[in-house]
Amino acid sequence: MDKSNALKDLTKIVAVAVKQAEMFAYTTAPTIRNSIEWSGFRTLTNKLAAPFPTLRPALARLVICLDALHTDGLPLLPRDTPSRELFSASNPCHLRFRQLQEEHSRFASEVDRLLWKIV
């Protein structure tokens, strides 16, 4: 696999994890929360990022954010939680998801920089 395709695949995997994290952070349905799993994320991303050592710190920070989100999200908010609470600091997952978004943005910037070097 060439480097450009490896970066694109890595970017897709990270984007899917971030979308799943968003669902995890703001859902009030236990079935949705329980269906989200990031167990293979670290292994797969480390494998794809092997040729790109500058991405490893960004990926490590993403993994830390995902782990923190999972830990903070263990108490599920009730179904009748108003949206103003779901998307505020009263939802412990909200702040963790915002941190994840920031790390994802940093990761995407580094990927863009690497893609310009490859092309």
What ranges make up the beta strands (E) of 8-70? none
What are the structure tokens assigned to 58, written together? 């960004």
Measured between alpha carbons, how far is residue 48 from residues 26, 35, 100, 101 in Å?
29, 25, 20, 21
Residue 1: predicted pLDDT: 57
What are the structure tokens assigned to 50, written together? 């092997």
**For residues 94 and 65, what is the distance between their CA atoms, to the nearest angstrom?**
12
Tens-level pLDDT at each residue, the chain (119 residues): 588 888 999 999 999 999 999 999 999 998 998 898 888 899 999 998 999 999 999 999 999 999 999 888 778 889 999 999 999 998 989 999 999 999 999 999 999 999 888 76
Which position has the token pair 């079935």? 31
This prediction's pTM = 0.90
